Amino acid sequence: MSLEFSASAKQRIERLLTQYPTAQAALLPVLHLAQEEFGHLPDEALHLVADTLKVPSAHVFGVITFYTMFHREKPGRNELMVCTNVSCMLRGGYEILHHIEKRLGIKAGESTPDGAFHLVEEECLAACANAPMMICGDNYHLDLTPQKVDAVLDDLRKRWQERAKATPGGGTGGGAKTIMGLGSDIHPGKR
């Protein structure tokens, strides 16, 4: 199967290329665009990006394997990024990560069998003052406790099940997307 960018994505790439001094400098935003377009970055997408930017495929591969925000496999619908860097670690980040692993029956780097969740251990998510924390979509979940995590997971699971009922083919389509409006202790932000 040969992947191609949509006409809209091609236009966005052309605009991006005008904002950077070289095509290689535009690699990160083009990889984000490719992941948005295809849901993840299989080998075909990496070669497409390399060909589009006229950079070596090995360089593209090196970049996507360095950054945890890029996915080689299709992630679960709700990507849970849990910080375990120093501030979060000292305030219970690993306990939160292990609680989520136990609750979902998966380890960091895995997705639930139904595709509802994908769990990622992150090095830093830039919210040290409110550790421990995690991000799902564009929502920052701060000052986490196991009880807060359970409430977030229950709400996400409920929304995922509602979507699965309303969507032909179930709730496994697409990549990680934002589910907004989860509650008063959820702080919107950008990654």
Average pLDDT, the chain: 84
The whole-model pTM stands at 0.58
pLDDT given at position 69? 74
111 vs 181, higher pLDDT: 111
Nearest to 94 by CA among 138, 139, 149: 149
For CATH 3.40.30.10, the residue range(s) in the chain are: 78-188
Distance of alpha carbon 34 from alpha carbon 8, whole angstroms: 12
Preceding peptide of 168 cis, ω within 30°: no
Tokens of 180: 């907004």
For CATH 1.10.10, the residue range(s) in the chain are: 7-66
Contacts 24+ apart (CB under 8 A), 19-27: 23/53, 23/54, 23/55, 24/53, 24/55, 24/59, 26/53, 27/53, 27/55, 27/59, 27/60, 27/63
* CATH class belonging to 7-66: mainly alpha
CATH number for the region 78-188 comes to: 3.40.30.10
pLDDT digits (tens, 9 = 90+) for 134-186: 988 768 899 999 999 999 999 998 988 887 787 655 544 433 333 333 332 33
Q: What are phi and psi of 128, to 5 degrees?
A: -60, -35
pLDDT band with cut points at 50, 70 and 90 for residue 36 = confident
Tokens of 110: 């895995």
